[in-house]
Amino acid sequence: MNSPYWFEVAVIMGLTATGTILMGHWEAGTPKWRRVLKPFVFCGLSVLISATAGRAWFFAFLGTLSAAVLVIHAWWLPRNGIHGWTGEPREKYFALRGWEWPPRG
């Protein structure tokens, strides 16, 4: 039996995969369990929204997440002295996240 919510799961997993490939290096200080849990939480939330409120609300959820990312990168990071696209100076970025610099590998 096919799930009627395959589209929502595919969108979230596609965005997560792309984001992890392109921007994953900025999550060096995030515990691995949180990085693994995050896509499952967003998939569950997306399916819940779509199942209870409809697919249009799923897209509203995606729009809200996109707006939050834009606010963080265009306003909040620069306000804290960090370039919103490059995340530099890296020492400041890590301090803002509460991580130690340099990261232990």
- Tell whether 31 is covered by a domain: yes
- Tell whether 25 is covered by a domain: yes
- Tell whether 102 is covered by a domain: no
Q: How many domains does the chain have?
A: 1
- Tell whether 85 is covered by a domain: yes
Q: What confidence tier does 105 reach under pLDDT thresholds 50, 70, 90?
A: low
Q: Residue 6: which of 36, 51, 37, 41 has the closest Cα?
A: 51
- Tell whether 65 is covered by a domain: yes
Domain residues for 17? Answer: 6-97
pLDDT for position 24: 86
Average pLDDT, the chain: 91
Q: How far apart are CA 22 and CA 79, in angstroms?
A: 24
pTM: 0.84
User: DSSP class of residue 103?
Assistant: P
- Tell whether 104 is covered by a domain: no
- Give the dihedral sign, CA 52/43/103/66: negative
Q: What is the pLDDT of residues 10-44, one digit of tens each?
A: 999 999 999 889 888 888 888 999 999 999 999 99
